[in-house]
Structure 1
């Protein structure tokens, strides 16, 4: 198969369309936001300081004069706060607005005189985190506008209406459907909460006040035992039993068998939690759908800037990657996104294809795209395309792209575009990696071995520390249903930690030896059909295509990308792929050490740790 991109017919290219060359594309990339503004960092800063601020804030004191009732305002503020964290990544403009409201409310909600206590360390930390988050959001908005201007300059005066099949390009239907369902649950939660509150208010109005002495307290159960001459002994539920020591007096409301503290006549926390967990994703879907539909509408409202580019789809990756028109080696992707194919009969909406295609047509199209991959299963063959719109993070774009057979294809983004970091050349090369790998093989054909690298061990240690802390917290108060669930999940936890810290793959004359968490598996060479590195794991196909052995996790791809390095697992998969297809290159000697599974030892250590927490602390 030729290494040239699949060409796009000249009649499919609007007159005057310029190629987006690598030099202009690199100017566009340079105009993007810096690493300090990546959404992950302000998310972590806001989350940590908000939790700290909430933990330090005093609990509200319920009194007979000012009883605790429904707190819809507090739930609304909490919804905005959580929604702001959700919007940080995809919608910086909306997140900036939510940031102002949520942080201001969090600083003021516990100040009785209306002025925040800025001297509190947690409040200062929260304010600094908010300022940092605001700076990153503004920086990303400015950079997005700058990237649009750079792309507009590269396109020059070339403009064209969207292809006919994309003239009705819309987004948001699925988002609106999900938002409607979730927000309906939110409305029901408010209605039901108010209904319960009204019923309790009516009962409170006809209840008789009484006073009783606290004779017992169950902090874990949230109950008090009270006694009076008129009522006898009763158990009542309270939010904070520790606020009512034994011997103190408690004001009550009595209506027959119904007895409640006067300071806490009813509790609607369940409905308030339902409102929170339904409104946050509901509003996220709603805002996402509105933004996507608005951007798509602006794109089709008038002739859009056009540029000639290259598109690529990689095996085991559902995203489409955008490259400059002269990036024939596919080494420097610019954006990644999911797309939907559009035909004259219909249009896509949020992942739903209304084109009316049959299953056979879908299979034919997928087969055409699969043909773009070379025999080695590496990076795909590129396709020429025309880009409609101005590329930037979160953009809605339309493409007319080429296929090997069947003519041009119109594609619309089905997810917001995301910036893509340049990839190492050997991860995108369309050539088989045999030459480089063969040169690195030992001439003596000795057994080869790969084991956990620094990234894998850092990930394993992180999981180990979090798990140890979780076990300590779960079992600290003795046995409960939570401790039973935790115990049932212990094998999965031990498996992940043991694999990350101690995985090993050995290739010798007899085949592959894969050391996982619990045992060492041997796979003869005749049974190995394929080897791949997907995500953070190694997959070895054996027998039928659906039958495979997995080692996971074998690394930390997020850390490797930021350090600009390749993981040991990637090197192992690439070398093994060559050995599978070239028997003459396989080792000629047997390995003496195949690895030692760490899972049983970790499980024993976890049981010992749990026993220490249960019986010694």
Structure 2
């Protein structure tokens, strides 16, 4: 349990402000979206069915009469499709129209005659996934409105103008700057692609038509070897070599030494890909900035609802957690967000929204287990998912301060009773320790191995994509990325911690480290890793699991149990094992590295 909250001076509390009691807060929580509407599930459903639909779609037919050229409409549709997946979590109202456009485009692409391929299994699956996603989006929007009404009822009509410093605070500048940069890259990609297309069109106008017979096809390399009496033997690049079997005839365009298939005169795939990878995050940043600025302006346009709440700050966690005014044990968080303190003389504007670039952080308590620091505060605004809020909070050193959210508010998860506190009482941990005081062993659980297989598959993809004819930039990418993927896979699949009478043994990716008990100062579980504090340094065993998956399944990760047990053993020497362990683990990293080297060697000698 945390200490008493830092009190807020009475003059900082607007007249008539009510405390947000736990009973009202639970009504507010009950009005929130159900677990079935978690954005992750429609995201996975849409992603899987879209990939299936694309894989089953027929290849584009390139002919001499209708050659394959630039496909900016197709890239634009792909941009909308990917952007819709990005918007699912934070902007449900904007994701709905994107969902209609993207699903319609995919279904139309399934049928070459232009009619929707609704009878295909992939199309039916995509439609069902889209209906499910639309249902979750509508449900979340309805729940936002319901939570706003419940919060207004709890405020009992109390409203107040925002405190002075908050009136000068604006949102979106960081998002707009990043959006401008990325969208400028998108414009450059379109300009360069059109420039290349124009250059090719000019050359095609001067080229002479010819016909040659295909004598060899290299599907892997994307080339055809063709032969004719007039031209001799030449190798040409094509998008789909399988469409030109050996013995068939290929129409060509010839301009001196320049020879291209008439059906595929040029390829702007690189510029189209650059447009896709720059426009999606660029538009996402632009949407984030516009929505944040609109919500902030609406909050400042009139007196806002006010409620008395508690705020909690936790070590190793940059977020602020909002609790009901009577939740002094900090057991039932309601919302989390990043904030920035603002002052009258600064006229500040936020420089960056941490949620714009960061991946989903743990919506949970600090796993190191330290008690949170509580302080009283007044909440200005209507709390709900994505809300912009202003808070006046109390600090012991500096007195009352105004803080504004710089990331959308995110509802805290409703955890199962056995996991509401990330720190179990010491007595529970002691009871879980074996009475025989035999060596204790913790190793990778199912969640860790699933995550490790993901790292391993990414490493295989990096290694496979780097291989080609001769040295290329892919070798540099593989050289930089592959060691990290192998290390992460080896650790997550095979980590092991052993505690015996001599200390701790940490088996990571490449070696086993021994830390005597006298050198262990602290143990914590942070960012899916185990940290062991030693004099003037820190040893990290990471990643050791998948906390997100454990929370979704209502379980506790093995790494978290290991950290809690070791923390007890550090401070209670009488509970430590009294015998030595015979096996401390075998690092997996050298074996994965050897397999990668053997695979590369096989490619060299077998090609």
Q: TM-score, normalised by structure 2?
A: 0.88
Q: Distance in 2 between matches of 1:218 and 1:185?
A: 34
User: What is the DSSP-based 3-state SS (H/G/I as helix, E as strand, rest coil) of the residue aligned with 1:157?
Assistant: coil
The equivalent residue for 2:555 is: 565
User: What is the DSSP-based 3-state SS (H/G/I as helix, E as strand, rest coil) of the residue aligned with 2:308?
Assistant: strand
Pair 1:576–1:136, CA change in 2 (3 A): same
The equivalent residue for 1:106 is: 106
Q: How does 1:143-222 map to 2 (within 5 A)?
A: 143-222=143-222
Question: How far apart are residue 379 of structure 1 and its match?
Answer: 2.1
Pair 1:241–1:509, CA change in 2 (3 A): closer
Question: How far apart are residue 484 of structure 1 and its match?
Answer: 9.6
The equivalent residue for 1:250 is: 250
The equivalent residue for 1:387 is: 379
RMSD across aligned C-alpha pairs, in angstroms? 3.4
Of 549, 570, 578, the match for 1:580: 570
State which drifts further: 270-279 or 231-240.
Answer: 231-240
Of 399, 402, 406, the match for 1:414: 406
User: What is the DSSP-based 3-state SS (H/G/I as helix, E as strand, rest coil) of the residue aligned with 1:196?
Assistant: helix
Deviations 1:364-386 (A, max 9, x none): xxxxxxxxx99x97122211111
Q: Distance in 2 between matches of 1:62 and 1:309?
A: 64
Question: How far apart are residue 335 of structure 1 and its match?
Answer: 0.9
Pair 1:166–1:594, CA change in 2 (3 A): farther
Q: Work out whether residues 320 and 337 of structure 2, in 8 Å CA contact, stay in contact via their aligned partners in 1.
A: yes
Pair 1:518–1:298, CA change in 2 (3 A): same
Q: Work out whether residues 451 and 546 of structure 2, in 8 Å CA contact, stay in contact via their aligned partners in 1.
A: no
Deviations 1:246-296 (A, max 9, x none): 332222222333322221222222211111111111101001110111000
The equivalent residue for 2:499 is: 507
Q: Work out whether residues 456 and 489 of structure 2, in 8 Å CA contact, stay in contact via their aligned partners in 1.
A: no
State which drifts further: 173-182 or 588-597.
Answer: 588-597
Of 512, 520, 525, the match for 1:533: 525
Deviations 1:290-326 (A, max 9, x none): 0111000100010000111111111111111111111
The equivalent residue for 2:283 is: 283
The equivalent residue for 1:269 is: 269
Q: Distance in 1 between matches of 2:499 and 2:155?
A: 52
Q: Distance in 2 between matches of 1:248 and 1:106?
A: 32
Deviations 1:528-565 (A, max 9, x none): 22211102111001111xx2111223232112212333
Pair 1:66–1:411, CA change in 2 (3 A): same
Q: How does 1:465-484 map to 2 (within 5 A)?
A: 466=457, 470=461
The equivalent residue for 1:304 is: 304
The equivalent residue for 2:95 is: 95
Q: Distance in 2 between matches of 1:613 and 1:34?
A: 52
User: What is the DSSP-based 3-state SS (H/G/I as helix, E as strand, rest coil) of the residue aligned with 1:88?
Assistant: helix
Q: Distance in 1 between matches of 2:49 and 2:553?
A: 27
Pair 1:342–1:558, CA change in 2 (3 A): same
Q: Distance in 2 between matches of 1:317 and 1:241?
A: 53
User: Any gaps of 5 or more consecutive residues in structure 2?
Assistant: 354-364
Question: How far apart are residue 13 of structure 1 and its match?
Answer: 0.6
Q: Work out whether residues 439 and 577 of structure 2, in 8 Å CA contact, stay in contact via their aligned partners in 1.
A: no
Of 563, 573, 585, the match for 1:596: 585
User: What is the DSSP-based 3-state SS (H/G/I as helix, E as strand, rest coil) of the residue aligned with 2:521?
Assistant: strand
State which drifts further: 247-256 or 266-275.
Answer: 247-256
User: What is the DSSP-based 3-state SS (H/G/I as helix, E as strand, rest coil) of the residue aligned with 1:383?
Assistant: strand
Question: How far apart are residue 408 of structure 1 and its match?
Answer: 0.7
Pair 1:220–1:319, CA change in 2 (3 A): same
The equivalent residue for 2:450 is: 459
Q: How does 1:314-463 map to 2 (within 5 A)?
A: 314-351=314-351, 378-422=370-414, 433-438=425-430, 446-447=437-438, 449-452=440-443, 454-456=445-447, 458-459=449-450, 462-463=453-454
Q: Work out whether residues 467 and 475 of structure 2, in 8 Å CA contact, stay in contact via their aligned partners in 1.
A: no
User: What is the DSSP-based 3-state SS (H/G/I as helix, E as strand, rest coil) of the residue aligned with 2:402?
Assistant: strand
Q: Distance in 2 between matches of 1:611 and 1:174?
A: 44
Question: How far apart are residue 241 of structure 1 and its match?
Answer: 1.9
State which drifts further: 342-351 or 397-406.
Answer: 342-351
